[in-house]
Amino acid sequence: MNRRNAIIRLAGSVAAATAAANVWAQGDKPITLVVPYAPGGTTDLLGRILAKEMAPLLGTTIVVENKPGAGSGLGATYAARAPADGRTLLVATSTTLAINPWLYKCLGYDPIKDFAPIGMIGSVPLVAVVNASVPVGSIAELIALSKAQAGKLSYGSAGSGSPQHLAVEMFKSATGADLTHVPYRGSAPAMTDLLGGQIQLMFSDIPPALAHVRGERLRALGVTSPKRQIAMPEVPTIAESGAAGTKDFQAVAWQSLVAPAGTPPELIARFAVALEKVMKQPQVQERLAAEGVEAATLPPQQLAAYLKSETTRWGAVVKASGATMD
């Protein structure tokens, strides 16, 4: 009986792989690349770059489908429930796979069980910026001022549980800085209030902050990545600041490519090879750098291990922050 079941399972696997391999032969059935955010943002840009560059490598058409909502949860749920036939892929972020499971009480997908990792796309560091009127010029001075004026320095974020929010909470935990959170509905209104002086600090994506730093309306104190960023090489990493608690500090969001769990390994391998080729293209790396994204690659097995470790790491941060979503 066991042998018979094994033969049945093997036959089913072969049939699934054969059917999936025929996806590219069916010109009327392109691959759908789900972007779980609205058009125009960084994740949408990444999705469109991948769709354009991976399609000829795979010999098919890739169509981007934006499905925003629930902090990327709506699109992730859609992708998780799609047939595992190689026709659906998902651009998944650190929010999608590592933060949402701890933030939302009811989530329509399991970040580990419902997806098959394909590869890393890139990392997205943040930069700590203060309004030019704030009398600090370094991370150490910011920490000291926050303690001297306990609770009076406010920082903005794109919302409770967002990477910007949790990065500052990690910073507070590591350094003892005393900062008050002001959540916004998106990064843009938070940046507006930072420029207006209604809040004093923000851990911002690099591109929207860069012009204001150069225009001297904001002052950059440090980046959250392990190394300095090409876009602002003069700005040290927070770990370089020398302030107590910052030696190993880093808080980097990331983007990855995944497929519904059960997608045949042959297709996962084919997607992974195509993705790696795209991410190594100099023009792609340059375009991503302009958006504050550092191109990065990890093969499927290494990405799977990384996702598990990131889920644990961000889970601890979410719990410590007390952030929750319905």
- What is the pLDDT, as a whole number, of residue 185? 87
Angle at 98 between CA 96 and CA 103, to 5 degrees: 80
* Beta strand pairing call for 294-295 and 115-124: antiparallel
Q: What is the pLDDT of residue 26?
A: 47
What integer pLDDT is reported at residue 13 of this predicted model? 45
Token representation of residue 287: 């375009």
Type and span of the H or E element at 3: helix 2-21
| CB burial string 116-153: b at 16+ within 10 A, e below | bbbbbbbbbbbbbbbbeebebeebbbbbebbeeeeeeb
Average pLDDT value for the chain:
90
Give the pLDDT score at 11.
45
Q: Answer for the pair 275, 54: CB distance below 8 angstroms, yes or no.
A: yes
For residue 22, what pLDDT is reported?
54
Please give the share of the chain, as a percent, with pLDDT higher than 90: 78
Give Cα 221 to chain centroid, integer Å. 22
Give the model's pLDDT for residue 24. 52
Please give the pLDDT value at position 231. Answer: 87
Q: What values do phi and psi take at 15, rounded to 5?
A: -65, -40
Amino acid occupying residue 213: V
The predicted pLDDT at position 28 comes to 60
Contact (Cβ atoms closer than 8 angstroms) between residue 267 and residue 16: no
Which regions in the chain score pLDDT beneath 50?
1-2, 4-21, 26
